[in-house]
Chains A and B, each alone.
Chain A
Amino acid sequence: MTAEHDRLEEARTQQKPWKKWGPYLSERQWGTVREDYSEGGDAWNYFSHDQARSRAYRWGEDGLAGISDDQQRICFAVALWNGQDPILKERLFGLTNSESNHGEDVKEYYFYLDSTPTHSYMRYLYKYPQAEFPYAKLVEKSRSRSRREFEYELLDTGVFDENRYFDVFVEYAKASPEDILIAITVHNRGPEPAELHVLPTLWFRNQWSWQGVSDRPVLRQAAGPAGQSTIQVVDPELGERFLDCLDDPALLFTENETNTERIFGVPNRTPFVKDGIHNYVVSGQVDAVNPQQTGTKAAAHYRLRVGGGQSETIRLRLSDRATTAPAAGNGRAHTSLAARFDEEFQQRRKEADEFYQAITPGTLSADEANVMRQALAGMLWSKQFYHYDVDKWLEERGSDPFKPQRKAAPRNEHWHHMYNGDVISMPDKWEYPWYAAWDLAFHILPLTLVDPDFGKQQLKLMLRERYMHPNGQIPAYEWNFGDVNPPVHAWATIFTYRLEAAQEGEGDKEWLKTCFHKLLLNFTWWVNRKDRSGRNVFEGGFLGLDNIGVFDRSAPLPTGGYLEQADGTAWMALFCQNMLEIASELAMTDPDYEDMALKFVEHFLWIASAMGHLGDDTGMWDEEDGFYYDVLRLPNGQAQRLKVRSMVGLLPLCAATYYTGDLLTQRPALAERLAWFLQSRPELRETIHDPLKPGVSGRRLASILDETRLRRVLEKMLDENEFLSEYGLRSLSRYHAEHPYIFQAQGQEYRVSYLPAESDTSMFGGNSNWRGPIWMPMNALVIRALIQYYAYYGDNFTVECPTGSGQHMNLYQVAEEIGRRLTNMFLKNSAGQRPVFGGAKKFQDDPHWRDCLLFYEYFHGDNGAGLGASHQTGWTGVIARILHLFATMSADKVLQGGKATFFELEVDPGLRAGSSQSGRAESARSVETARPR
């Protein structure tokens, strides 16, 4: 056990609240649905970046490299000013959906370099130009670009030329759960001295203005030892805190209140408003801050002059205890706190290294270990306090759900039961600073590498009555909670249960039971709502795959009629398998769940066989192509397959799970009932894999695809001219580059072509693209399925990989090969280049950039360059689990061991004691370490 493991245990057993403070501050609160009170629901333009510095938020806060408590009462972040910009840099800048040629995009460079799961140590890097930040230029250039061009990036503006920028490292080290040391180290990477204003800022989330709270919290200057300035925090709920700022900076106070003069054109109620510190520092308005040194927002004002190539460090402490003033003001407190800084930071860094050494397989190279650690750092930094009381929000819009005289709300009217006020794992805290149900399920895969408790808590949270709709639907995301996302929650649930069981020797059955009951509601919702014909074939709309279809699958079809979706149906088959796994596990100790196990076997068979049977020559399976397609059912009764070779058709392959049969051995009566069902309904087994057929070690396989169809689909999937790219599986076959799929309807042509990079349409906001790029979560699902198939078929089942190469592999080796290709996107190749950085020379060559990794939303289908959201460590963080998986698992283990082998931790103390381990730890911090003086 490492010190960080001890802290996790103390947090789990509620001895010490180590997770009370963390990076729970969003990177962007403006432009979100919850802050949008416009009539038409134009969230991006209603509350703009330009307004954000002056307008108090209703539901949350944002800031640079910030932290808050877990209810976000108090926030801390860093503000900067280079003396050139028109505004204080208090938050990240980016383009709104309509400003950019490919949808919303953050135009800043920042990196989540490190974090432990309790946030006892964290490190963040922000790169701030010394020249004026080109806000207007970014907007103008981006607007003028077409959807067929690349995005205009901050580096393209030339503002980082000659390295005239500051690297601002922000580090946190917890001395105790309530004693947080903060170091801000500024490196001038340019050739000449340059000045930088650094304003560590503390403020309260504004609750008093909106909720009639009478007890208003307060910040005020407090007396402290010589050589430091102190802000005293008095919060009616949290009590007292102190922000000690070494080197005696000036303190500036204002209120976190809307500047109504600027926003609404009405005089302010108070002279001190949210942008008071900005007005003081940037505009020189000395009366913009409160001379009484009190308020609800305060900053320490440091003016640094940093020599070319030099660095300066600012040290602060946020604590529930005041630093004791020395008797004669002789500066001893300054000295002792400064000394403590070095000591505490060194210790926390060392403990962070030890923690990551303990979870990082010894076989990983230094570069691989770096990728894994930064992926996990990104996952941990992407935790955010998410606050949204939908009922209150509707009421404040005049859309009270139960009042007769009410305005229609532009969205989420039917979700008034929701009250969210929790720390949640976000897809990307700037581009997607709201939870997304199916993303979250994927987040659990890497998060459980470092914090299984957090994974469990997150899964259960989405099923709570404050989240799940009374009808059983899991909320999708705030843009429309009623959208339908793929049902992957049950998969993440059984995964997390088995992980804990493998690591702790016992799984948490009470947690599993609770989840199962709620998942049953969700399953029933799907069956009742998305199976139009009652024949076990499912719709679902876009199902998270945005523009992958010929049409917008969430809109009424231009032809009329409806789609029978290969992916929707396959997702439900997988859902059944996951529920069967859970029910079987529970039934081992509680016979009440036997019926449920049987129910899900049967339901899987109904769905899987429907995929094969229904429609005969117009069913989803196309014998000629050897592939699955969506089927368009027209109002006149005709039907046709929409023959787009995409991830939609690979999903049936993903619905595969092997079973050991332990439950049936233990419960012969149940086995008899199952046998009777299977024998009396032989037609159900005709077009799918025979579930009675034993495989390796007598295992059984639930799979839509029988061996013949599996081989045919694999042939396409592993063809480098179709799905298999050098960096993983594409979302659309490359075949469509020369053979676009064209569909005519109502005199209009609908076309799907292979687009390896960005989308060329505005469908679904135009900010993502499923017509070619590589998406991490779908690759992870395929890897999972291949290992399931391998566990059943064993070494005798081989395929050519890549197709046509003459090289044959078993399915474990195929899974490993896909994993290797995915990993290669992030690793340096033989030329020292990382494919993820594409043609960005600065990222590829500059020592201050090249090891700062970005985990993009998706990747170029041909060259692996990162695309879309740049900090979607969210589900792209799954790469950490993939690295870990193939470093700790082997084909032999899969064949010989049970499912527990999937979750083995590689904890060989002998290996870890070796010198290679310390080398890896150093590499994980290879980005130049910013150490406090």
Chain B
Amino acid sequence: MLATNRFVLAIYVDRSTRQWIVRDRDGNFWIVPPGEHSWEQREPFEPSDDTDLAPVPGHYRSLFQLPT
């Protein structure tokens, strides 16, 4: 049986570090810097139990050239 476990692409803000965080469709979290080619410059992010991610509307994804 084919199993899929895909996530909805989501953007967050980590207010404690003042960074944009993206969760990709595989469920991985990334720090995405602002500016040009931001998605290409992403770095892995590991949320901890204390991480408080605030959701950002999906239409902001164009600002980071995120994959559709």
Q: Give me the interface of A with B, judged by CB distance under 8 Å.
A: 37, 39, 58, 209-212, 260, 264-267, 269, 395-398, 403-407
Contact = CB atoms under 8 A, between A and B. Distances in A.
B60 to A, nearest CB: 8
A209 B61 CA distance: 9
A210 B62 CA distance: 5
A37 B63 CA distance: 17
Contacts of B56: 264
A58 B62 contact: no
B1 to A, nearest CB: 14
Contacts of A211: 62
A266 B19 contact: yes
A209 B58 contact: no
What 3 A-B pairs have minimum CB-CB distances, sorted nearest first? A396-B58, A398-B8, A37-B57
Given A212-B62, A264-B56, A267-B18, 11 more contacts: A58-B57, A210-B59, A266-B34, A269-B34, A396-B58, A396-B59, A398-B8, A398-B9, A398-B10, A404-B4, A405-B8
15 contacts: A37-B59, A209-B63, A260-B34, A265-B18, A266-B13, A266-B18, A266-B20, A267-B34, A396-B61, A397-B58, A403-B8, A405-B4, A405-B5, A405-B7, A406-B8
Secondary structure at the B interface, as helix, strand, loop or mixed, is: mixed
Interface in B9-68: 9-10, 13, 15, 18-20, 34-35, 54-63
Nearest to B19: A266
Contacts of B4: 404-405
Nearest to B65: A212
Interface residues on B, range: 20 to 34
Q: Tell which of B8, B13, B61 has the most Cβ of chain A within 10 Å.
A: B8
Q: Tell which of B10, B55, B57 has the most Cβ of chain A within 10 Å.
A: B57
Contacts of A267: 18, 34
Q: Tell which of B8, B19, B59 has the most Cβ of chain A within 10 Å.
A: B59
B13 A37 contact: no
A58 B62 CA distance: 12
Nearest to A399: B8
Contacts of A212: 62
A404 B5 CA distance: 10
Given A37-B58, A209-B63, A265 B8 contact: no
A123 to B, nearest CB: 36
A265 B13 contact: yes
Contacts of B7: 405
B27 to A, nearest CB: 10
A264 B8 contact: no
A260 B8 CA distance: 23
Contacts of A398: 8-10, 58
B8 A269 contact: no
Nearest to A398: B8
A395 B58 contact: yes
A43 to B, nearest CB: 13
A561 B15 CA distance: 50
A267 B18 CA distance: 7
Nearest to B13: A264
A260 to B, nearest CB: 8
Contacts of A264: 13, 15, 54, 56
A212 B35 CA distance: 14
Contacts of B10: 398
Nearest to A258: B60
B14 to A, nearest CB: 9
A638 B28 CA distance: 59
B55 A39 contact: yes
Nearest to B38: A269
A856 B6 CA distance: 50
Q: Tell which of A260, A266, A269 has the most Cβ of chain B within 10 Å.
A: A266
A212 B7 CA distance: 23
A191 B35 CA distance: 53
A728 to B, nearest CB: 45
Contact of A269 (B19, B54, B63): B63
Contact of A396 (B34, B35, B57, B63): B57
A522 B19 CA distance: 50
A269 B20 CA distance: 12
Contacts of A39: 55
Nearest to B36: A269
Given A266-B19, A267-B34, A58 B59 contact: yes
Contacts of B60: 209-210
Nearest to A212: B62
B28 to A, nearest CB: 15
A407 B57 CA distance: 13
A192 B59 CA distance: 49
Contacts of A395: 58
A59 to B, nearest CB: 9
B35 to A, nearest CB: 6
Contacts of A266: 13, 18-20, 34
A269 B65 CA distance: 14
B9 to A, nearest CB: 7
Contact of A407 (B8, B54, B59): B8
A265 B15 contact: yes
Contacts of B18: 265-267
A823 B57 CA distance: 47
A211 B61 CA distance: 9
Contacts of A210: 59-60, 62
A345 to B, nearest CB: 41
Contacts of B6: 404-405
Contacts of A397: 57-58
Contacts of B35: 269
Nearest to A268: B34
A267 B7 CA distance: 27
B45 to A, nearest CB: 14
A30 to B, nearest CB: 14
B26 to A, nearest CB: 11
A405 B4 CA distance: 9
Contacts of B20: 266
A22 B32 CA distance: 41
A407 B62 CA distance: 20
A97 to B, nearest CB: 21
A55 to B, nearest CB: 10
B62 A209 contact: yes
Contacts of A406: 8
Nearest to A264: B13
A397 B56 CA distance: 10
A552 to B, nearest CB: 31
Nearest to A46: B57
